[in-house]
Amino acid sequence: MDTTKIVIVEWIDAMTVGSWESDVKPTLATCVTVGFVVAEDNDCVVIASTVSDSMSNCHMHIPKRWLNKRRSLSIETKQRKSKRKNVPAMGTRPDHRSIPA
């Protein structure tokens, strides 16, 4: 399972109000879900909050026609991290002088 890609989706959902109202206006709820895409077809995307080697849990099945926005993110892999410059420890500067408290 590819655990380096995360998706953020904004979607609409039904909304309920459990009180008496005199001025009712049609409203939908805007939701944002972040997670791993573990299944997808033409009609639906399934996003999991947690993945392991070959399993996942906390699945949100969202109809694609409910999606407003979808954006993919990537997690930095170990290979990419190893090619990055070393970052100085907190409280120090690149020239290794202490930062006054």
Amino acid 52: pLDDT = 86
Structure tokens at 88: 């100085």
Amino acid 89: pLDDT = 66
Q: Which run of H or E residues covers position 14?
A: none
For 43-63, what is the mean pLDDT?
A: 92
Q: Which tens digits make up the pLDDT trace of 17-51?
A: 889 989 999 999 999 999 999 999 999 999 999 99
For 71-97, what is the mean pLDDT?
A: 66
Q: Is the pLDDT of residue 12 over 80?
A: yes
Amino acid 45: pLDDT = 93
Q: Is the pLDDT of residue 74 over 80?
A: no
3-state secondary structure of 10: strand
Q: What is the mean pLDDT of the chain?
A: 83
How far is residue 56's CA from residue 60's CA, in Å, rounded to a whole number? 11
How far is residue 49's CA from residue 59's CA, in Å, rounded to a whole number? 7
Amino acid 17: pLDDT = 86
Q: Would you say 12 and 30 are in contact if contact means Cβ atoms under 8 Å apart?
A: yes
How far is residue 90's CA from residue 83's CA, in Å, rounded to a whole number? 20
Q: Which amino acid is at 17?
A: V
Q: Is the pLDDT of residue 53 over 70?
A: yes
